Structure 1
Amino acid sequence: MTTLEAGSATPTLATRFARLFLVTGTGGRYPPLLTAVLLLPLLVLLLFSFLYPVGRMLVGSLFDPSFTLHNYARIFIEPLYLKILLRTLWIAFAATVGAFLLGYPVAYGMARAGGRLVFWIAGCVLIPLWTSVLVRSYAWIILLQRKGVINDILIEAGIIEQPLKLIYTEGTVILAMTHVLMPIMILPIYGALRSIPKELPQAAANLGAGAFTTFLKVILPLSLPGVFAGTLMTFILALGFYVTPALVGGPETLMMATLIGQQTTVLLDWPFAGALATFLLAVTLALTFMFRRVLSTFGGFDNV
């Protein structure tokens, strides 16, 4: 072996660096060290913004100051807290269903629209999403309060004589949450609908299927991954919603997030607030796991 061949056989510093950071491994995957470097900022952010606060909250709920399960026992002993949990689940479910029923036609129209129309529809979806939740919630107060826009129109039209109670009700909370969360439902469905090849509905029409049959047999099944993704995100966000229920809801529509806020800011009972938050997190994770198990029965939705 010549000196040149021996030198070429010895990996240089640049070659070792390339193997560690630049060259992809088997199957196009990155080397472990490069993968770790790329994931490090996300892991640090996850540690300090989620794991550390949740850990402190869990420790505070279990040690008050010594180890105790009293804070968690209160959730099951006093019927009020389970009632609030069931109300939270119901309102989150109703808002998710409403967002789907109103959002799917919008996503379908965006997917089928062409030219400038799709940009106008997308603007109507994205501008509310970019607007503060606080602003959108106050808009509902202006519309629905006793001297609001809707009551003034009904009184001036002679339909009613006294203002209706349109705000601080369960229906108002569901309506406002549906409006706020609807863009979260629309965007995944729109992405799924856009990925459907145009030839498939045309082939169904050529085979004699009508518009409704084509939608039911072709378009809707192929858009289910987007439906499931939007439904899951909307439902999880609705479980922890705070601003909108606190503004447009009342004592009869108290939800878990509002209850936790009262425990921390009004009653200053941080251990019990930590127990409520941990319990809500556990319920959310359990429902998410059950939802994914249901999706697995359909098959083909592993990435949802």
Structure 2
Amino acid sequence: MSGNSVPGNTTVTEALAVSGADAGAGKKRGPRNWRPLLLLLPAFAIVSLFFLAPLFDVALRSVTDPQPGLQNYEWLFTTQANIAVVTRTFSTAFIVTIVCLLLAYPYAYLMTVVSDRTRNMLQLFIMLPLWTSILVRTLAWMVLLQDTGPINGILMAWFGIGPVPLIRTTFGVALGMSQVLLPFMVLPLYSAMAKIDKRLLPAASNLGANPITAFFTVYLPLSRPGIFAGGVTVFILGLGFYIIPALLGSSKEIMISALIQQQISVFLMWGQGTALGMFLLICTILILVIVSKLNKGQSLFPGVDKK
């Protein structure tokens, strides 16, 4: 009898095949149990009631009020004033995103190199504004930016300049929005930077790279997930701001959110207001898709690995 056979003239390969088939037959799954999914029904009902149903109603009103058709979207894209509002909204949100990035990047980096006690203090400083009402902070900016306020007082006393128009301008709106949205840029950046090995920059220097080259070729690409996450968050939140543009801006600085409120509450044009809302929603979804593609399939949320 050869070494590759077993009693009954059955080869080892055949025996393994039979045993594998028996094991596969033993692992055959029975009918799927759908009962655990029933636990999700209450959550699905709540989401449908408070999110999907209003969203469907808004989408329906945008094409049926005051009559069925696309006249509301035609009004949105053919009215010069609307185009100016949309352009102003996106440009202001972009400016705020850049300002927040320039301020948050060194702050987040500092949080990664200091001691734990100092880091906790820096986190407290960046979180403290979130515990204050946005209305209170906006009213404080109104006091600071007015023509007779402290900022213009310092400019006039120290530099002989002023009064400089700071309030009721795009600058004032962008400044107030940047102060409110800065934490939403710092936290994702810190989450991404905390994962970067601090030995990489010295290693790049030892290989002949100067500090600037090492930063742009090593550190900056590794912090890109935090830049994308913070930038998307700040930009999208900036598109929907209402209180700050309304209080720090003027009729010349009106943004989409204020235009929606005007169309619905003042003119009672629900179709045009909901069309503006759907346009803003679609733009937000497109931004998320585009940034996800630019991020090469990585998660937009640092610390959350994409499966």
Cα distance, 1:253 vs structure 2: 1.0
Cα distance, 1:219 vs structure 2: 1.8
Q: Are residues 1:70 and 2:66 paired? A: no
Unpaired segments ≥5 residues, structure 2? 1-28, 302-307
What is the match of residue 236 of structure 1?
Answer: 236
Paired amino acid for 1:119: N
Query: Matches of 2:203 and 2:298 in 1, distance apart?
Result: 25
Q: 1:150-193, CA deviations, whole angstroms, 9 ceiling, x for partnerless residues?
A: 12233344714x53211111111112111111110110110011
After superposition, the Cα gap between the structure-2 partners of 1:241 and 1:36, relative to the gap in structure 1 and judged at 3 Å, is: farther
Query: Matches of 1:140 and 1:48 in 2, distance apart?
Result: 38
What is the match of residue 287 of structure 1?
Answer: 287
Query: Matches of 1:63 and 1:120 in 2, distance apart?
Result: 53
287-296 or 258-267, larger mean C-alpha shift: 287-296
Query: Matches of 2:46 and 2:93 in 1, distance apart?
Result: 28
What is the match of residue 277 of structure 2?
Answer: 277
Q: How many residues align?
A: 270
Paired amino acid for 1:90: S
What is the match of residue 196 of structure 1?
Answer: 196
Q: 1:66-124, CA deviations, whole angstroms, 9 ceiling, x for partnerless residues?
A: 41222221112211101111111111111111111111111101111113211111111
Does the Cα contact within 8 Å between 2:93 and 2:238 map onto a contact in 1?
Answer: yes
TM-score scaled by length of structure 2: 0.80
What is the match of residue 84 of structure 1?
Answer: 85
Cα distance, 1:61 vs structure 2: 2.0
What is the match of residue 113 of structure 1?
Answer: 114
**Structure 2 matches for 1:186-265, cutoff 5 A?**
186-265=186-265
Paired amino acid for 1:217: T
TM-score scaled by length of structure 1: 0.81
Query: Matches of 1:75 and 1:180 in 2, distance apart?
Result: 29
Structure with bigger gyration radius: 2
**Once the two structures are aligned, what percentage of the paired residues are identical?**
40
Cα distance, 1:47 vs structure 2: 2.2
Q: 1:218-270, CA deviations, whole angstroms, 9 ceiling, x for partnerless residues?
A: 22111111111111111111111111111111111111011111122222222
Q: Are residues 1:301 and 2:282 paired? A: no
Q: CA RMSD in A?
A: 2.3
Unpaired segments ≥5 residues, structure 1? 1-25
After superposition, the Cα gap between the structure-2 partners of 1:42 and 1:303, relative to the gap in structure 1 and judged at 3 Å, is: farther
2:268 is paired with a residue whose SS is coil
Query: Matches of 2:279 and 2:126 in 1, distance apart?
Result: 33
Query: Matches of 2:129 and 2:151 in 1, distance apart?
Result: 21
**Structure 2 matches for 1:10-21, cutoff 5 A?**
none
Paired amino acid for 2:188: P
What is the match of residue 47 of structure 1?
Answer: 48
Query: Matches of 2:80 and 2:56 in 1, distance apart?
Result: 27
Q: 1:104-149, CA deviations, whole angstroms, 9 ceiling, x for partnerless residues?
A: 1111011111132111111111111222221221221111012211
Query: Matches of 2:98 and 2:89 in 1, distance apart?
Result: 14
What is the match of residue 102 of structure 2?
Answer: 101
1:163 is paired with a residue whose SS is coil
What is the match of residue 4 of structure 2?
Answer: none
2:148 is paired with a residue whose SS is coil
After superposition, the Cα gap between the structure-2 partners of 1:284 and 1:123, relative to the gap in structure 1 and judged at 3 Å, is: same
